[in-house]
Amino acid sequence: MKRISTVIMLLLLLVVGAWGYNQYMQKVSYHRYLQAQYDRSFYQLVNSIENIETSTGKLMVSSQENTTIPILSDVWRQAFEAQENLSQLPIGQPELDNTSKFLSQIGDYSYSLSKNVADGGKLTDKDYKTISELHNYAVYLGKNLQDLRSKIQGGYDLGNLRKKGTQKMSQIDSKILNVNMSTVNQQMSNYPTLIYDGPFSESQAKLTPKGLTGGNVSYDNAVSIARRFIGKPMDGATKYSPNNGKINAYGIELKPPQNGPSIYVNVSKKGGHVIWFMDQRMVSKVNISETQALNYATKFLSAHGFRNMENTYSIKANGTVQFNFAPVQNNVRIYPDIVKVKVALDNGDIVGFDATSYYMSHVNRKIGKPKLTEVEAQSKVSKNLKVDSERLCIIPLDGGKEVLAYEFKGTYGGDTFYVYINAENGTEEKILKIIKTSQGNLTM
């Protein structure tokens, strides 16, 4: 009997041991997969920064339109790709704020300069001075990223990249963007803002928020609001500076159990509204369709009080899909009130949310009847555009103004355009062009 019990015990130990070893190997395999993903994003980030450094150097010796425009366009493209790869690193979001802002501004600035040169303008002495400053910061960033890369190649594993990578990026980030950006801002005010993720997605950057309701809330209340909004068990919360001048908000880092990736949430001090959140977890595989993801995003918005929202745009990247939603009132799409939702394609989790534009611009609107009919408005559109669809919408203009317009979507020469005609007087208010990239479609 004892011998049988011993045999059974040994068999059980073997089964448990085999199961444990299998779990360990799965963990090792996933660890290696994540390490490979992080390494790829990091090396692509370094490559983009090096290209920005090279191109901004070339600009300092370029004087002809036929060379200046392609170089400026390359800086814009590399800055966008660098931002995408930066967002994939397992490094705390606060440590990346200035670096991300630097990449955004150098990309937008180079885009506006390329538009200026294409319209017959020339780079001024102030432009060259600003380019020189931005070049120096690109050199500084590139040098420090190279140093971090050599340390990673020297044996940093995933854990070290999380800890020491965050420490290193914090040191780099604190010295980025000390450059006086007044020249950049002045230049940018003269040209259309580059839209990274759909029509009018960043239209309210310089205004005062209109959509915040309620009284001021404390930090502790904001933490409770953030926890309820995320709807997942969290071990703790840490305060961080959100570095967001648009809406005065508490920055809250929520820490999941078992040392999972942090979730960063911004909660407005006025009213306690969740303005923005980002879950930094990696998405390892794609298990659901974009249609299913849209359903998850729509239900999420409805559950949080955003109803009568219509999907206007989507872009897929790194195992996620981001949807832009706009409210619809009396069959009129309201572009200033854009809300963005990012869905993980492995299990449908909501891993990103941004209602900044919504809270910046949302008011109770009285939408009147357009003076022009659809036919009258379309007569104002170029005959070269083959119109595929049309609808009424409200679009933002400079200075916080809004206008009721007809949106005409069409094609010309193989390219897709959106043309916006003022529904009151027939003025051509905006033209947006769809640009296809490896990350999806952009508009400008």
Instruction: Identify whether 88 is part of a domain.
Output: yes
d(CA 37, CA 285): 12
The residue-averaged pLDDT of 18-35 equals 53
Closest by alpha carbon to 282, among 172, 161, 168, 197? 161
- Judge if 331 and 391 occupy the same domain: no
The answer to whether residues 255 and 312 belong to one domain is yes
What's the whole-model pTM score?
0.59
Whether the pLDDT of residue 183 is over 50: the answer is no
- pLDDT one-digit tens code per residue, 72-104: 888 888 888 888 888 777 665 555 667 777 788
Name the β-bridge partners of 354: 276, 340
378 and 336 in a single domain? The answer is: no
Same domain as 246, residue 175: no
Same domain for 333 and 249: yes
Spatial separation of the C-alpha atoms in residues 266 and 273, rounded to whole Å: 8
pLDDT in tens, 413-428: 888 888 899 999 998 8
CA–CA separation, 325 vs 306, rounded Å? 10
Same domain, 22 and 101: yes
Over range 232-256, report the average pLDDT. 79
Question: Which tens digits make up the pLDDT trace of 161-176?
Answer: 554 455 554 554 444 4
pLDDT band with cut points at 50, 70 and 90 for residue 191: very low
- What pLDDT sits at residue 66? 64
Does one domain contain both 284 and 179?
no
- Which pLDDT belongs to residue 114? 83
**Are 348 and 378 in the same domain?**
no
97-123 pLDDT tens trace: 677 777 888 888 888 888 788 778 888
Domain boundary among 361, 386, 411: 361
| Residue (of 259, 256, 262) closest to 240 by Cα position | 262
The answer to whether residues 328 and 385 belong to one domain is no
CA angle 428, 431, 433 (to 5 degrees): 165
DSSP-assigned beta bridge partners for residue 343 = 321, 350
Q: In this predicted structure, what is the pLDDT of residue 32?
A: 55
Domains held by the chain: number: 3
95 and 233 both lie in a single domain: no
Length of the chain: 444
Q: Are residues 40 and 178 in the same domain?
A: yes
* Domain identity same for 224 and 356: yes
Give the contacts of 240 (CB within 8 A, at least 6 positions apart).
Answer: 92, 93, 94, 251, 252, 253, 264
pLDDT at 30: 47
Write out the residue range of the structural domain in which residue 53 sits.
2-188
